[in-house]
Structure 1
Amino acid sequence: MLLNDRINAFIELGNFINQFKTTGNKKVRSVLYNDDFFDEMSHRITSAVHYNGWFTEENVLFSLNEWSDALKKERLNQWISSYSLKETSPKTVGVIMAGNIPLVGFHDFLSVLIAGHKIMIKQSSDDNQLLPFLVAYLIKVEPRFEKYISFTNEKFEHFDAIIATGSDNTARYFEYYFGSVPNIIRKNRNSVAVLNGNESSEQLNALGQDIFRYYGLGCRNVSKLLIPKAYNFDNFFKAIYDYNTIINSAKYANNYDYNKAVYLMSNYKLFENGFLMLKEDQSYSSPIATLFYETYDSKTDLEKKLEADQEKIQCIVANDFLPEAVDFGQTQSPKLSDYADGIDIIEFLIKIS
C-alpha cells in the first residue's frame, strides 16, 4: 500500500465524519458506503455520550469536526510534505491510548498508519466507542488496512515500538516495561495562559474555550493563568460569563461544590463567579472547576519560569509573547504538526523503519 493510498483512505474517512456536526447530522450522497455506516455512526455517538458521563454530545461532535477538518487533502499533504517517507517493511507499533477526551488517541493512530506501520491499540475503557467503528469504515474504504490494525485488552506482545500516554505514575510502569524498545512515553502535562492585562474582551472570551472545552480534562486545556501583580479579574470574569451554563452539568457542579468546600475549610483565598474558582497556586494541574493562577514580576522572569517548567507544559496561550504561543481559543484545534509533548511522532516512526 503506497503513501498516496493511505492518505486517500483517510481523506474518505474525513468526508464521512464531516457529516456529523454540532449543527446537526446531514447525510451526503457522495460519501462512500454511507448506507452501511451513517445510521450506525449516529448510534455510536450516542453510545459514547451514554458510556462516559464527561462526553457530552457537543464535545464528541466538536472532536469529530476537528478531525474532519484535519483529514482534508491539503492539510494531510502539507503535514506529510516535510518528511521523507519511504516504503519499507512495516513494524508493529503498540499504542496505549488515554481516555480523557473523545478520540484523544486518534493522532497517534493516524501517524502510525500514515507512516506505513502496523498498529496494535489498547484503548482506555473511557473512550472505546468511536475508534473501532471508524476503523471499520477505514477498512471498508481500504481493505488492505485490515492487516495493519488490531485492538487488544491483553498485555502487549510481539511489538517493535511503543507510544504510551498516561499519568506520571503509569509512565514509570511504561518506562520499566517498554524501556527496551524505541518508545514515546507521555506523562502529565497542562496548558497555561499568559495574560498582561491588555487583552480584549474577545480574546478573554475565546480563552473560555481553552478552559472549558471538554470540561478542562484535556492536556491542551488551560488550567493555569500567569498574570502580572495587581491583575484585576473583573474583565476576565465578564468575558467568560457566556460559559456559565457549564454548571448545569451535574458532574461538573459536583466537582465545583466539593472543591469549593475543601478550599473554604482550608481558608484558601478564592475568586469565583458561580461556575469557576480561581486559586493562587504554583502547581499546573488544577482540579475540575478550578483555575490556578500565579503572578510574575517581569517578562524575563516569566520566560525563565516557562523554560524551567517546559516538561510540565503542553502549550502556552498568549498574545505576542512567544513565537510558539497558541492564539486565544485555539488550544483544542491543533495542527497535525502540533505534536503532544513536542515530540515529532513521524520522525520517531521513520527512525524505527
Structure 2
Amino acid sequence: MDFSKTQTTFAKFGQFLAYYLNNDYQSIDSVKLEDYLGFKQACTKAFQSNAWFTEKNIDYALAQWAKILTAGNLKKWLDQYDTRIASDQRYNIGVVLAGNIPIVGFHDFICVLASGNNFIGKLSSADKYLLPAIAEILIRIEPLFKTRIKFTEERLSDFDAIIATGSNNSARYFEYYFAKYPHIIRKNRNGVAVLTGAEKRLDLLAEDILRYFGLGCRNVSKLYVPEGYKFDHLLSSTGQFDWLSNHHKYRNNYDYNKSILLVNRIKHFDNGLVLLREESSVSSPISVLHYEYYREIEKLNEVLDSQSEFIQCIISEDSNVNNSLFPGQSQQPDLWDYADGIDTMEFLLTLL
C-alpha cells in the first residue's frame, strides 16, 4: 500500500467515526449500514463487559479520534517520515495493549500500520472489543490491511519488535522477557497541574482530572499549588462530573480511600467526589488527588524536570510553566504527541 493511500484510509476512518457518533450512517467505500451496526454492537459489548468503559467515555474517546484523523493532520504528521516509509517493509510488531481507558492503544495501532509494518496485538481483557471492531472497519475501507492486522488474547509470538504498555510491575517483566528484541516499554505516568490561584477555567481542569475516572496516563493526579492556596473554587468546579458519585466502582474507591484518610487522621479536603491530600508522589489512587506546595515557578520548573520520568503531561494556565498545556487538553493529544516522549514512528522506521 502506498503512502498516500494509507493517509486516505485513516482519513476515511475518521469520517466514519464522525458519521457514527452523529448516527448518520453514510456509506464510505465498502462500509455499509451493517458495518455501522456491527461497530455499535462492539461498543455495547465493551460497555457491558467493563464498568469503567461507560458509553460517555467510549464516545468521548471515539470523538477525539474523529477530530484528529483528518487529511490535513495526517499529512502534517506523516510528511516528516514519508521518504523513509517503504511499501515493502514488513516487520511484525507485537503490541501489548493496555486496557485502562477505551482504545488507549489506537495510536500504536495506526503507527504500526502507517510505518508499513504488520500489527500483532495482545488484547487486554479489559478492552477486547473496540480495537478489533476498528480493524474491521479499516479493512472494509482498505482490504489490503486484512493480512497486516492480527489480534490475540494469548502469548505473543512470531514478532520482530515489541511495544508494551503496563504498570511498573508489568514493565519489569516486559523488560526481562523482551530484552533481546527492539522494544518500547512504557511504565506508569500521570499528568500534573500547576495552579497559581488566578485560574479562570477550573472547570476544564476538572476534565483533565476526572475524564475516564482519572484512569488515563494523561489524567492529572497531582496539583502543585502556591503556599496559602485556597481550594474552595477548585472543589466547587467539578459539577459536570457529579454523576461519578453514582457509579458503583468509582464510589467504592472513593468510600474506601476516604475511610483510610479518616482512620489515619490524615488531613484532606473533600467535596463528596474527590479527595485532596498533601503528598509528594505523582501517582494517586482513584478518587484521590495529591497536592504539593511551591514558592517559585522557576524552581518548580526544575522540580518538574527532575520528575519527568513520572510525568506524561503538565497542565497550567500560566505560560511560565515549561511545556504546559492549557486546561482541558490533556485528553486531546495530536498525532505527533507520543506517549513518554518516545517517537514511535521513528522507532518503527529504524528497525534493522
- When normalised by structure 1's length, the TM-score is 0.96
SS in 1 for 2:312: strand
Alignment of 1:46-61 (within 5 A): 46-61=44-59
**Structure 1 residue 42 displacement after superposition:** 1.6
Q: Could you say if the C-alpha distance between residues 30 and 170 of structure 1 is closer, same or farther in structure 2, counting changes exceeding 3 Å?
A: closer
Residue identity opposite 1:27 in structure 2: Y
Q: 1:323 to 1:82 in 2, by over 3 A?
A: farther
Question: For residues 246 and 4 of structure 1, do their structure 2 counterparts lie closer, same or farther at Cα, with a shift above 3 Å needed?
Answer: same
Residue-by-residue CA offset, 1:44-79 (whole Å, 9 max, x unaligned): 111111010001101000111111111111111111
Equivalent residue, structure 1, for 2:195: 195
Partner of 1:261: 259
State the partner residue of 1:168: 168
Q: Which residue of the partner structure matches residue 277 of structure 1? A: 275
* Counterpart secondary structure, 2:217: coil
Deviation, structure 1 residue 254: 1.1
Alpha-carbon distance between aligned partners in 2 of 1:164 and 1:40, rounded to the nearest angstrom? 28
Q: How does 1:321-332 map to 2 (within 5 A)?
A: 321-332=320-331
Q: Which residue number corresponds to residue 9 of structure 2?
A: 9
Q: Would you say the 8 A contact 2:109–2:119 is kept in 1? A: yes
Partner AA of 1:300 in structure 2: E
State which of 214, 219, 223 in structure 2 corresponds to 1:225.
223
What amino acid does structure 2 have at the position aligned with 1:164? A
Taking a change above 3 Å as real, the CA distance of residues 31 and 145 of structure 1, as seen in their structure-2 partners, is closer
Question: CA offset at residue 17 of structure 1?
Answer: 1.6
Contact 2:338 2:344 in 1 (8 A): yes
Q: Distance in 2 between matches of 1:32 and 1:64?
A: 21
Q: Is the 8 A contact 2:279 2:292 kept in 1?
A: yes
CA RMSD of aligned residues (A): 1.4
Distance 1:145 1:3 in 2: 13
> Secondary structure of the equivalent of 1:287?
coil
| Secondary structure at the counterpart of residue 285 of structure 1 | coil
2:95 corresponding residue in structure 1: 95
Say whether the 8 Å CA contact 1:12–1:32 is kept in structure 2.
no
The whole-number CA distance in structure 2 between the counterparts of 1:33 and 1:279 is: 50
Q: Deviations over 1:101-143 (max 9, x none)?
A: 0000000000010010111100101001111111111112211
Measure how far apart 1:89 and its partner are: 2.4
Q: 1:20, 1:61 within 8 Å by CA — same for their partners in 2?
A: no
- Return the letter of the residue paired with 2:342: I
Q: Match for residue 235 of structure 1?
A: 233
Counterparts of 1:155 and 1:167 in 2: how far apart (Å)? 18
Tell me the TM-score normalized by structure 2: 0.96
Distance 1:150 1:190 in 2: 30
Query: Mean Cα displacement is larger for which, 139-148 or 328-337?
Result: 139-148
- Percent identity between the two aligned chains: 43
1:349 aligns with 2:348: yes
TM-superposition CA deviations, 1:83-108 (whole Å, max 9, x none): 24331421111100100000000000
Give 1:26 deviation, angstroms: 2.6
Quote the Cα distance in structure 2 between the aligned partners of 1:140 and 1:29.
11
How far the C-alpha of 1:32 sits from its partner, in A, is 4.3
Deviation of 1:278 (Å): 0.5
Do the aligned residues in 1 keep the contact of 2:20 with 2:36 (CA within 8 Å)?
no
Task: Give the counterpart letter for 1:138 in structure 2.
Answer: L
The equivalences for 1:43-82 within 5 A come to 43-82=41-80
Distance in 2 (alpha carbons) for counterparts of 1:32 and 1:141 = 6
CA contact (8 A) 2:27 2:33 kept: no
Distance in 2, Cα, partners of 1:263 & 1:281: 12
Looking at structure 2, the residues matched to 241 and 257 of structure 1 have their Cα atoms a distance apart, in angstroms, of 19
C-alpha distance in 2 between matches for 1:279 and 1:309: 19
Q: Following TM superposition, by how much is the alpha carbon of 1:35 offset from its aligned partner in structure 2, in angstroms?
A: 2.2
Moved over 4 A (4+): 29-32
Task: Name the SS of the counterpart of 2:193 in structure 1.
Answer: strand
Point out where structure 1 has 5 or more consecutive residues left out of the alignment. Answer: none
* 3-state SS of paired residue (2:121): strand
For 2:213 and 2:94, the matched residues in 1 are separated by: 29
Structure 2 counterpart SS, 1:191? strand
Structure 1 residue 323 displacement after superposition: 4.5
- 1:31 and 1:234 map into 2 onto residues whose CA distance is 53
Give 1:242 deviation, angstroms.
3.2
Aligned to 2:155: 155
CA deviation after TM superposition for structure 1 residue 273, in Å = 0.8
Shift of 1:322: 3.3
Give the C-alpha shift of residue 29 in structure 1.
4.6
Q: Residue 229 of structure 1: CA displacement?
A: 0.7
